[in-house]
Amino acid sequence: MAEIAVIGAGYVGLTTAACFSHLGHDVTCADIDEARIAQLLRGEVPIVEAGLEALVREGLEEGRLRFVVGAANAAPSAEFAYLCVPTPQDDDGSADLSYIEAAAREIGPRLPSEAVVVNKSTVPVGSTRVVERVLGRDDVVVVSNPEFLREGSAVHDFLNPDRIVIGSDDQSAAVRVASLYIGVTAPIIVTDPPSAETIKYASNAFLAAKISFVNAIAAVCDAVGADVKDVVLGMGYDTRIGHEFLKPGPGFGGSCLPKDTRALVQIADSAGYSFDLMRGVISVNEDQFQRVAAKVRQMAGGSLDGVKVAVWGLTFKARTDDTRESPALRIVSLLADQGAEVQAYDPAIKGPVGGVVPANDPYSVCDGARVLAVLTEWDDFRWLDFDKVAGLMEAPRIVDARNLLDRPALERRGFTYVGIGR
């Protein structure tokens, strides 16, 4: 079993630390956020992520998981140092490497000889070399090991990955990194670092392309009177196409797909290739926010000025509390710009976010509302009392931007219902 330092205790870092400790390794997880570390030391997990708290408590109780403030404090005995810090979008769309560089600078002088530094953050092609330069150590190898977990099922995805990708020119370092995943059954693909870095961007970009494709097909369905649910079902049985990532919705959001698609366009541009297909994917996604806002306006009778709109769902998808680049927040702001009085509810959001102060229950926001817009696919929304909702609203009208609800059942209760592409 190995000694592993994990730098960054966010969605990826905390999951990586808790799962490696669960697999039997000794893990020290560092963050610069002192309050977060204090919380974690008490066994409290600051994010909504199924199964994570149990693994953190298990690691703390069994003495295989420690939390420290500052990357340098995790480095001295680390055989492996996983970088899991943010790579946000810079002004020109490219990935900002300053957090990666800062973390590498902090651990560089403290790492023991023969340590392996592993990039798990999503980083542009060439970043393995950047980290090598910043570390300035001939006795330390840098390896790329991108992460493919999804928020909401991070622990499950880490422990049951579709594949493990390791990018290294040093075969023995690649084998050492592969051996950390003891007990995890998945194909392991060893490549050179630029290919591993490209696999990560290409995968997220492909998923984003599927979503924009299906949202564009939904627009066609709206125009020609087809039902996108049936269309996707019929497409998905073709094993070359599959059923996954073909759910139409309010557009893709979150901390990764939007920034990674933009970064890939920028990476391609700087290498002399104009990635127009990916530009199209991004522009269809931007249009989708507008399309949903237009459906709400149309449902309200053509104008949103002074109109009360109820919104269910603020997170970028269900089963997470993450609102980074949430399509719901984009749509709420488009509605507010047109004069709507938006009242919102989300089961995972209790405090103000993006200018919205959420209510504590799904019913109160419907009081006097002309339209109810469902923007996140929380399962809880399916089982609410729709007779009560209808009674509270000015008139029962729903724009279901996730095609989540039971349309015939709602229509029987007198709702006017509009979905996406059906």
Q: Binding of ligand NAD at residue 20 (CB under 6 A)? A: no
Does residue 117 bind ligand NAD (CB under 6 A)?
A: no
Residues 236-295 that bind ligand NAD (CB under 6 A): 255-256
Single-letter amino acid, residue 288: Q
The contact set with ligand UGA (CB under 6 A) reads 122, 147-151, 204, 207, 211, 245-247, 249, 252-254, 256-257, 316-317, 327
Contact 212, 281 (CB under 8 A): yes
Classified as helix, coil or strand, 308 is strand
Q: How far is the CB of 138 from ligand NAD (least distance, A)?
A: 23
Q: State the minimum distance, in angstroms, from the CB of residue 253 to ligand UGA.
A: 4
247 contacts which partner out of ligand UGA, ligand NAD, none, CB within 5 to 8 A by kind? ligand UGA
Annotated catalytic residue, options 19, 84, 221, 256: 256
CB of 154 to ligand UGA, least distance (A): 8
| Burial classification of residue 114, based on how many CB atoms lie within 10 Å of its CB (0-12 exposed, 13-18 middle, 19 or more buried) | exposed
Q: How far is the CB of 376 from ligand UGA (least distance, A)?
A: 8
Here the tokens at position 324 are: 């980074």
* Sole binder of ligand NAD in the list 2, 6, 71, 166 (CB under 6 A): 71
> How buried is residue 166: exposed, middle or buried, by Cβ count under 10 Å (0-12/13-18/19+)?
buried
Residue from 26, 49, 147, 222 binding ligand NAD (CB under 6 A):
147
> Between the CA of residue 88 and those of 98, 100, 121, 215, 256, what are the distances in Å?
9, 11, 10, 26, 9
**Distance in Å, CB of 209 to ligand NAD, minimum:** 18
Please state the closest distance from residue 148 (CB atom) to ligand NAD, in A: 6
Residue 17 touches ligand NAD, criterion: CB under 6 A: no
CA-CA-CA-CA dihedral for 336, 339, 340, 346, to nearest 10: 10
Decide which of ligand UGA, ligand NAD, none touches 79; Cβ closer than 5 to 8 Å per partner kind: none
Q: Which is nearer to ligand UGA, 323 or 343 (CB)?
A: 323
Contact between 381 and 328 under an 8 Å Cβ cutoff? The reply is: no
29 is catalytic: no
Question: Minimum distance from CB of 400 to ligand NAD (Å)?
Answer: 26
Q: How many residues lie near ligand NAD (CB under 6 A)?
A: 28
Stretch that binds ligand NAD, among 49-57, 95-103, 237-245, 390-398 (CB under 6 A): 95-103
- Which stretch, 98-106, 130-138, 325-333, 343-351, contacts ligand NAD (CB under 6 A)? 98-106
Nearer CB in complex with ligand UGA: 308/330 = 330
CA distances from 166 to 43, 74, 140, 180, 183 (A): 31, 23, 16, 12, 17
Q: In sequence order, which residues have a C-beta less than 8 Å from that of residue 109 and are 6 or more positions away? A: 72
Note whether 99 binds ligand NAD by CB under 6 A.
Answer: yes
CA-CA distances (angstroms) from residue 336 to 184, 267, 307? 47, 35, 10
Query: What, of ligand NAD, ligand UGA, none, does residue 253 touch, CB below 5 to 8 Å by kind?
Result: ligand UGA
Q: Is the distance from CB of 392 to CB of 362 less than 8 angstroms? A: no
The set of long-range contacts for 97-105, using a CB threshold of 8 Å and a minimum separation of 24, is 97/123, 97/124, 97/127, 97/130, 99/8, 100/127, 100/130, 100/131, 101/130, 101/131, 101/134, 103/7, 103/8, 103/71, 104/131, 104/134, 104/135, 105/134
Q: Give the one entry of ligand NAD, ligand UGA, none that residue 99 binds, where binding means its C-beta sits below a cut-off of 5 to 8 angstroms depending on kind.
A: ligand NAD
Among positions 49, 151, 197, 346, the unique one binding ligand NAD when judged by CB under 6 A? 151
Task: Please give the Cα distance from 153 to 417 (Å, whole number).
Answer: 31
d(CA 77, CA 75): 6
Q: What is the pattern of x (binds ligand NAD, CB under 6 A) and - over residues 118-137? A: ---xx---------------
**Using rule CB under 6 A, residue 33 touches ligand NAD:** yes
Phi, psi of 34 (to 5 degrees): -65, -40
Contact 208/285 with Cβ under 8 angstroms? yes
Q: Which residues are marked as active site?
A: 256
Judged by the rule CB under 6 A, the positions of this chain that interact with ligand NAD are 7-13, 30-33, 36, 71, 84-87, 99, 102-103, 106, 121-122, 147, 149, 151, 255-256
